[in-house]
Structure 1
Amino acid sequence: MSEQTSGQPRRTMRQNLKELPAQAWLLTIGATINRFASFATVFLVLYLRSHGFSLPKAGAAVAAVGIGELVASVLGGHLADRIGRRNTIALSMFCSAASMLALSQVRPFLAILAVAFLAGTFAELYRPAGAALVADVVPEGQRVTAYAVLRFAINLGFAAGVATAGLLADHSFFLVFATDAASSIIFGVIALLSFPDNRSPAGTQGEGRGGYRRILSDRAFAFFLVASALVALVYFQQQTTLPIHVLRQGLSKTDFGLLLSLNGLIVVVFELPISVVTMRVPARQALSVGFLLIGLGFALTAVAHSMPMLFVTVGVWTVGEMISAPVGYAYVADLAPKELRGRYQGLYGLFWASGTVTGPILGGLLFTVSANGFWALCGVLGLAASALTFGIRQRLVTLGEDDVAAIERAPGGLKP
């Protein structure tokens, strides 16, 4: 996403959607089918409890899935650059199908933990490859729209799928795992038949750790990763301290569910139209506004003691999410050299997913000390992430000439 956008003609959302390449649509269709049925891990606690496992053991299995997902961010990015986007997606989906079926059959607890880890790893292994594939096939000026379409479809598929999963689970938990596996196989076949075999040339196969040294020397990307980790810590409070706050106000679990439903509804209805605006705005500015709104939305939770006020706070941080999420993927794609796109996206995914670990731990500790103080801290972290992102380019002028030249050679690097 270029930092220079003022000369671009205004385009409608329909024009942007019509001009997306076929492979971007096929990726969206495959990911949507897969996400529609990616509900086995959502029901994992209920499944294990039905087999007599204690809640702590069931929770440990879910944690194993989460650890696997973190590993997948780095491993998936590496594989996307080494064996190609198509092969990584196919490997991810076929192995995910096998691990889901295995998870429905294993009984020893240690075996469940091991298979749950593999299930989490393989289910998410495709994500960096998918993000890199979008950057490969979609022109720079259309990437925000492409990532917004992908997020829209995945969110819609998951929302519809969870409701369907409940019906399946009432009949048989095996149907939940089997349907999840079937959707993965479908996505894997779509990948093999439709996506290009873009394995790295022989000259780049041996980069290994050298590739990561190049990535970490990209100061713009390094600062953006730090900013992303800060705002992710705030964003994932929706899963930890926010429900506690809601119950403390005398509201119900149903009310909390309505708040999260509002988030999903707003994203589905408004993210694509918003992407038409954000694609014309310099990336750093859009990301800074988005991060600031996420922090502000959670900070306002301190004064939200009723459902109407909570709806307002959710609306604020959801707008921030819709602004920053598609632009973030596009910004990373533009910073990355083609041969490192998978690893760039993988590291971005890892730092964002770090919020699922840091959020519950720090949130749980600090919220018990001072709830209002913690919400204020969320605002400060959002402001810090916003300022850090907006200041990326100014910080880069202090780099040596070799560093600047390397970044300028990257697609979407420093612009004149």
Structure 2
Amino acid sequence: MNRRAAGPIVQRVNKLPRSAWILFAGTFINRFGTFVMPMLALYLTRSGFSIAQSGLAISAYGAGHFATSMLGGHLADRIGRRNTIALSMFASGATMLTLSQVHGFASIVALVFTAGLSTELYRPASSALLSDVVAPDQRVLAFGFYRFAINLGFAIGPAIAGFLAERSFFWVFLGDAVSSFAFGIIALVALPHGIHQSEDRESFRTAFADRRLVIFLLASISMTWIYFQMSSTLPIHLARHGFTPSQYGMLMSINGLFVVLFEIALTLRLQRFAHVPVIAIGYALMGIGWALTGFAHTLLAFAITVAIWTIAEMIFAPMASAYITELAPEHARGRYHGLHMLTYSIGMLAGPILGATLYERSEALLWMACGVSGVVGAVVLFVSKIRRSPKLFANRYT
């Protein structure tokens, strides 16, 4: 990139407010310190629990994630974005410390559920706060940086968690708690409150009456269940075809590496376009990438499919968050983002079950269903856009 082309890009980045950078930094610290969940299965099996029991405990985290989607959005609008982030982080830290001290399986499952509830509670509030403090023409870029902070932290954190686990699992729990407390303190000290608290008790009813939002959420569910094949049927499929766990890990590293290296640059190129068509292209590409998994037989071929659906994720994810902000009334942004988060919770819970069911019937059936589902979601979005405006790819900001 030459200096003349880089100038406007640097200007756009520099226009992001200080509070956005503080949120990015706090998010990175928190995600970097996500030590417990990557190590939880290993911790439980080494503590004498069965593989089935460890799977049940991990599922409890997903259930907590599901439960917190709407709760986090509600709290963000009622008690404020900053207070919700701080509450989430302090509760998460306390839960991790408590989890390190319990040994009964029922207590562990209950605390892992609480961890999923508390650790993910901040997400709608963070998205709403970014929407509050960033100018409309900068929101896609801001959400791109937000995702960058999450992915960079999560790319580094598990390696540190493994190092700590070799010494003592207590350090894993302590490190996770400290990172959560740090983000909570940063939130209270340095983040603004955001838009004033909402007294509207009908915000969720208002949201579900928003036809554009409902269409978008349904289209998103058609994509999110596909996304979670990454951690459910894909490793099984690779093992069935003779690939090792380390090769699966290498393929997953492509996802994180692409996001860290290329997402910001791609977001800068796409942010001027209308949200819905770009999101639709991302959804279609996600489906196509997963459909091509059925045709892959070599490690290189699998790597290409991972690259395709990773590029799809980089295309739609920042745009989707910005689109939710565009739809939401100011006082209900937390709840709108909570409902968007709910689509991922649904995908996290339903994706592995649906994927495994289809895969047991036929490998080809699963990958074909992924392709069809992604394309259907894209078509729904394209049709909804065309009915409102024939100018699909008009520049948003000129």
Calculate the TM-score normalised by the size of structure 2. 0.94
8 Å Cα contact 2:132-2:195 kept in structure 1: no
Match of 1:391 in 2: 383
Match of 2:103 in 1: 107
CA offset at residue 13 of structure 1?
3.1
Matches of 1:200 and 1:113, distance apart in 2:
36
Instruction: Report the secondary structure of 2:37's partner residue.
Output: coil
Of the three residues 213, 221, 226, the one matched with 1:229 is 221
Matches of 1:341 and 1:282, distance apart in 2:
20
- Aligned runs of 1:52-71 on 2, under 5 Å? 52-71=48-67
Matches of 1:11 and 1:349, distance apart in 2:
35
8 Å Cα contact 2:63-2:349 kept in structure 1: no
Matches of 2:179 and 2:144, distance apart in 1:
22
Match of 1:251 in 2: 243
- Aligned runs of 1:10-409 on 2, under 5 Å? 12-198=8-194, 200-201=196-197, 204-205=198-199, 207-208=200-201, 210-395=202-387
CA offset at residue 168 of structure 1?
0.3
Matches of 2:388 and 2:178, distance apart in 1:
47
Amino acid at match of 1:332: I
CA offset at residue 307 of structure 1?
1.1
Q: CA offsets, 1:271-317, max 9 Å, x none?
A: 00000111011101110110011000001111110011111111111
8 Å Cα contact 2:148-2:264 kept in structure 1: yes
Matches of 1:107 and 1:396, distance apart in 2:
57
After superposition, the Cα gap between the structure-2 partners of 1:10 and 1:222, relative to the gap in structure 1 and judged at 3 Å, is farther
Match of 1:400 in 2: none
Match of 2:392 in 1: none
CA offset at residue 337 of structure 1?
0.6
Matches of 1:371 and 1:233, distance apart in 2:
16
Matches of 1:157 and 1:101, distance apart in 2:
21
Q: CA offsets, 1:50-76, max 9 Å, x none?
A: 222222222211111111111111110
Structure 2 unmatched ranges of 5 or more: 390-395
What is the CA RMSD across the aligned residues, in angstroms?
Answer: 1.8
Amino acid at match of 1:365: T
After superposition, the Cα gap between the structure-2 partners of 1:151 and 1:367, relative to the gap in structure 1 and judged at 3 Å, is same
8 Å Cα contact 1:83-1:199 kept in structure 2: no
Calculate the TM-score normalised by the size of structure 1. 0.90
Matches of 1:47 and 1:255, distance apart in 2:
23
Q: CA offsets, 1:240-281, max 9 Å, x none?
A: 121122223222221111111111111111100000111011
Matches of 2:55 and 2:296, distance apart in 1:
30
Amino acid at match of 1:327: M
Matches of 1:217 and 1:94, distance apart in 2:
34
Matches of 1:340 and 1:148, distance apart in 2:
22
8 Å Cα contact 2:132-2:194 kept in structure 1: no
CA offset at residue 396 of structure 1?
5.8
Matches of 1:110 and 1:395, distance apart in 2:
52
8 Å Cα contact 2:133-2:194 kept in structure 1: no
Matches of 1:344 and 1:396, distance apart in 2:
21
Residue identity over aligned pairs, in percent, reads 46
How many pairs align?
387
Instruction: Report the secondary structure of 2:38's partner residue.
Output: coil
Instruction: Report the secondary structure of 1:391's partner residue.
Output: helix
Matches of 1:19 and 1:78, distance apart in 2:
30
CA offset at residue 353 of structure 1?
2.2
Amino acid at match of 1:252: T
Matches of 1:274 and 1:166, distance apart in 2:
32
Matches of 2:374 and 2:6, distance apart in 1:
30
Amino acid at match of 1:35: R
